Amino acid sequence: MNGDSVARLKWGAALVLGLALSACAPASGPAAADPRAALIGGWQDFRLAEYDLATKAFSSALAGAAQGSDERIQALFGLANVWNLRRPGEDPDRARGYYQQVLQEAPGHDLAAWSDLALVRMQHVVPVGQEPDIKAVRAGYQRIIGTYPGHLASKEATIYLNASLIATLDPALTWQAVSNLTAFIGSGTREFRAPAWSLLAVSYQSLKKPRERLEAEIKAFENVEIDPANPFNEFAWAYWNIATIAEFEVGDFDLARGYYRRLIEEYPADVRVFPSKEALLRMDRVEAELRAGREASP
């Protein structure tokens, strides 16, 4: 190989290396000068599970945001979420730090309530193999309910708190949940009203109060919030649930018939249509046997 060939090879190698390095160069993050765009980009990256990019975008927003500005709080909240929820590579301590920073710098900001709730959720939704300190978790939810009255985060905390009480299957704690949820519904809130009624229904089931359970299930159905674009929204399950409780736990066959029929008419392709038709025949038969003074066969 002569000197020219070596020189040509060197130039070629340098060119290839240059091209390779340029291809490997990280994409430039959003400009620090536009924190709003960086925040939007950060959340987009977060949803795409591009956590490094999301961290970079939120950091860039933080660097570009003025002290005390809304953008700064948003950026801190974004960073907290990434370090809290990313897998792998999570850093709970760093996440807690950012959430705390939001609470310290802007206790009156909308995101303060969400940060506070996230701190409690970190205690509640623990890694596999660990058990949460449920007393501390419940105290945390209770604190949020007291600190941010009327805020959506507070309403969400109410639902989590009472679900955890009902999950014990302990009658005393379940009664406590009934009291809390009744008060929550009585406050006139619209948000999370349907899950509150559903939790009441589950409580009454545990407490063996079928009539109250049935009423709560109907209220839950009447108050359900629907995402209009979701094609999987349907009431077939709710109809079936109410109908079977009415038939087998309360003995209100007329109410049961109404809901079985609604299921058959409104959801003709639902899996429970055939069992609903059988249920209508079964109730007719049972009533006929009882009318004739006979024992109803199962």
Partner 1 sequence: MIGRVLAFLRSYFAMLVVAGTFLWSAGAIVKYRAAQYPSDAIILRLGHWQLEASVREAIDEMAAEYRRTVNPKVYLVQDAIPEGTYGQWVSTQLMGGTAPDILQVGSMLPGNIWLSYYQRYFVPLGRYVERPNPHNDGTVHAGVPLRKTYKDGMKTAYVDEMQEYMSIPLAQFGSRVFYNKDLLKKLTGLDTPPDEYRAFLKVCEQIRAQKGDDGKFYVPIAGSGYHFGMMGGLMWEPLTFRAIEKADFNRDGSVGNDEQFVAFRTGRLDFDFLPYRARFKMIEELTRHFQSGYTGLTRDEAVFLFAQQKAVFMATGTWDARSLQEQAKGQFEVGVMRYPFPAPDDPFYGPVAPARPREQVGSGFQFGITRTSAHPEIALDFLLFLASRIGNEQLNRIIGWIPAIQDTETDPLLRAFEPNIVGIFGAMNFTLGGETVIKWGQLHALYQVGQITYDQFAKEYKPFYLERGLMDYREQSRDWRRGMHRNELFLAGIRARALFSEGAESNTEWIRYRALTANRQVWAELDRSRQLKLMEQGLEKDAVGPYEYKPEVLAAVKARILAAKETP
Site residues for partner 1, 198-217, by CB under 8 A, read 198-199, 202
- Contact criterion met (CB below 8 Å) for 115 and 80: yes
Site for partner 1 in 156-185 (CB under 8 A): 156, 159-160, 163-164, 166-169
Contacts of residue 103, Cβ cutoff 8 Å, sequence gap at least 6: 112, 115, 116
- Contact criterion met (CB below 8 Å) for 181 and 159: no
Among 1, 23, 24, 47, binds partner 1 (CB under 8 A): 47
Q: Is position 294 an interface residue for partner 1 (rule: CB under 8 A)?
A: no
Tell me the closest approach of the beta carbon of residue 186 to partner 1, in angstroms: 19
Strand boundaries in 144-258, DSSP class E: none
Q: Is position 225 an interface residue for partner 1 (rule: CB under 8 A)?
A: yes
Distance CA 227, CA 211 (A): 30
Tell me the closest approach of the beta carbon of residue 118 to partner 1, in angstroms: 8
The encoded tokens of residue 58 equal 């939120």
Q: Is position 9 an interface residue for partner 1 (rule: CB under 8 A)?
A: no
Total residues in contact with partner 1, by rule CB under 8 A: 74
Binding track, positions 48-87, relative to partner 1; x by CB under 8 A: xx----------------------------x--x---x-x
Coil/strand/helix, residue 73: helix
Q: Is position 23 an interface residue for partner 1 (rule: CB under 8 A)?
A: no
- Contact criterion met (CB below 8 Å) for 119 and 141: no
Q: Is position 19 an interface residue for partner 1 (rule: CB under 8 A)?
A: no
Q: Is position 43 an interface residue for partner 1 (rule: CB under 8 A)?
A: yes
Of the two residues 29 and 199, which places its CB atom closer to partner 1 in the complex? 199
The encoded tokens of residue 52 equal 């490094």
Site for partner 1 in 120-139 (CB under 8 A): 121, 125-129
* Of the candidates 70, 79, 69, 67, the residue with the CA atom closest to the CA atom of residue 42: 79
Q: Is position 194 an interface residue for partner 1 (rule: CB under 8 A)?
A: yes
Distance CA 58, CA 50 (A): 12
Q: Which long-range contacts (CB under 8 A, 24 or more apart) does 159-163 make?
A: 159/192, 159/195, 159/196, 159/199, 160/121, 160/124, 162/196, 162/199, 163/199
Of the two residues 139 and 250, which places its CB atom closer to partner 1 in the complex? 250
Q: Is position 96 an interface residue for partner 1 (rule: CB under 8 A)?
A: no
Site for partner 1 in 244-273 (CB under 8 A): 244-245, 248-253, 268-269, 271-273
Of the two residues 149 and 251, which places its CB atom closer to partner 1 in the complex? 251
